[in-house]
Homo-oligomer: A and B are copies of this chain.
Amino acid sequence: MGQEPGRGDLSYAVLGLLSFGRELSGYELKQWADNLRFFYAAPAMSLVYTELARLQSAGLVTSREVPGEGRRGARVYRLAPAGEAELRTWLSRPVPPATLRHPVALRLFFGHLADPDRLQAVLEEHRARCEELLAELDAVREGLRDDATFRYPALVAQWGQRYYGGEAAAAADIAALLPLDDPADLEDPAGPAWR
């Protein structure tokens, strides 16, 4: 869930996904990249292939064709030593802050103008979406459980479980408080006409 990574971040994401010691096809890489969606946008398949070609011509990854089920074999990619060195350099550089773009919070900010039922529905939709992503993350985390190679991705998955669990709980708690008393209600018990 997030913005499309900039060209730089996509390069490092692809290099990073190849750093777990396995050769991966473009298709397998895309499946792995989809696991970034919980805290970044998952890149489109076409972008993954473009990036792989770019990284290969820069000498950061190598590839070879392996026999496949179709007429053509599948091409698999491996991290080259220069690619690993570039990854380590990236990991030592300053890290930009995390950013959030929260259209639900923006609408709640102006909740005094919203139809109360509509605002409840918007929060409920956000809660349901967070619960859904949480369930997907639970499955990802479960799948990584026993593999020490993926201990850091597993830790990121746990972080995501906290985040989405927290967001879902916050949305539910806020929805339970709505509608907030309108000051106009206090002056006029009948309330304003638009409610």
Contact residues of A with B, CB < 8 Å? Answer: 1-3, 5, 9, 12-13, 16, 19-20, 36, 39-41, 84, 87-88, 91-92, 95-115, 118-119, 122, 125-126, 129, 148-149, 151-153, 155-156, 159-160, 162-163, 166-167, 170, 174, 177, 180-181, 183, 186
Contact = CB atoms under 8 A, between A and B. Distances in A.
B180 A151 contact: yes
Given A9-B103, A40-B102, A97-B1, A109 B153 contact: yes
A127 to B, nearest CB: 11
A113 B100 contact: no
A3 B98 CA distance: 10
Secondary structure of the A contact surface, majority rule: helix
Contacts of A149: 112, 183
Nearest to A180: B151
Copies assembled: 2
B108 A102 contact: no
Given A98-B1, A99-B2, A174-B159, A91 B113 contact: yes
A159 B152 contact: no
A185 to B, nearest CB: 10
A88 B119 CA distance: 11
B98 A126 contact: yes
